[in-house]
Amino acid sequence: MPILRGKIKGGQVVLDRPADLPDDTDVIITPGLPACVDNEPMTPDEIARVLALMDMTQPFDLTDAERAAWEAEQAATKAREKAQFIEYAERLRGMWDDPVPPR
């Protein structure tokens, strides 16, 4: 489905072009987020709005406890994947050795 563009006028959404949607179609309006439509390049105004939104982004900082929990979860995931590697490799090898691939 193509992205529709428009502006708010008098509290109502006014689209730049008619929408080919049936009545009572639910829609989601996302203000201030320019979208590339039909691979058109962004206008200077759209670029300025995106940069302004990027400037408003707050840095994401973890506390020491959150960082320790995240690192522990990553280590557990790595250990689990290493333990299962041989099983996955054998399953892949079987796919190439088997003359009729599984369906």
> What SS3 string covers 33-56?
CCCCCCCCCCCHHHHHHHHHHHHC
Q: What 3-state class would DSSP assign to 15?
A: strand
Average pLDDT value over all residues in the chain: 84
Q: Residue 60: which pLDDT band, with cuts at 50, 70 and 90?
A: confident
Contacts of 36 (CB under 8 A, 6+ apart): 42
pLDDT digits (tens, 9 = 90+) for 70-87: 999 999 999 999 999 988
Q: Is the pLDDT of residue 34 over 60?
A: no
Q: Where are the domains of the chain?
A: 6-19+26-55, 61-103
34: closest CA among 26, 45, 23?
Answer: 45
Of residues 39 and 63, more confidently modeled: 63
End-to-end CA distance of the chain: 33
